[in-house]
Amino acid sequence: MLRSVLMAGLAAMMWSAPVPAAQPAKAANPAEDATRFVTTIIDKFNAGDVKSWLSAQEDSTMIVDEFGPHAWSGPGSPKRWLDDYAKDSTANGVTGGRVDYGKALQATSDGTTAYIVLPTTYRFVQKGTKMAEDGRMTFVVKHEGDGWKIASWTWSAGGAPAPEK
């Protein structure tokens, strides 16, 4: 009899127990999300969308690149880098610069910041000759509000540019 009472009580508790709410879909992997953000911004830069390139960066993004002055930081650094890139390109007869990239070599994120390393090839025309320079770009991005912003990026050349074959 005691067993019947216990079973009835257990059954009643199970019937009255709240049903757990459906779990929301698992959030996207933040490292993949940040990598997608970075590659989308590179694609926009390649398409000539300078406004998107600049707005994707924090105003004081730390930038390291192979042409002088080699390091840009502080307020307005993305615009100053862009202006110096244009000056350097003009001085060296470079046009049509674009960055092609491969699958991330490294992409890690804690959901707030991300570190991304991309294999890259900088392609351009220099005084009528198609050139290519292999390298890597490394990005640190921060999640701000609804999306990511570039906090830092570097270009590391893998060697001297050479005529494309």
Residue 108 lies in a domain: yes
Residue 8 lies in a domain: no
Domain count, the chain: 1
Q: 126, 93 in Cβ contact below 8 A?
A: yes
DSSP 19: P
Rounded to whole angstroms, the Cα distance separating 132 from 98 reads 10
Residue 123 lies in a domain: yes
Residue 61 lies in a domain: yes
DSSP 161: -
Rounded to whole angstroms, the Cα distance separating 98 from 142 reads 24
Residue 7 lies in a domain: no
Domain with 93, as residue range(s), is 28-163
Rounded to whole angstroms, the Cα distance separating 8 from 23 reads 30
Question: What is the model's pTM?
Answer: 0.82
Q: Cα dihedral angle (87, 131, 157, 98), rounded to 10 degrees?
A: 60
Whichever domain contains 84, its CATH number is 3.10.450.50
Which three-class secondary structure state does DSSP give residue 128?
coil
Provide the residue-wise pLDDT of the chain in tens; the chain has 165 residues: 434 433 344 344 334 444 444 443 444 799 999 999 999 999 999 999 999 999 999 999 999 999 999 999 999 999 999 999 999 999 999 999 999 999 999 999 999 999 999 999 999 999 999 999 999 999 999 999 889 999 999 999 999 999 998
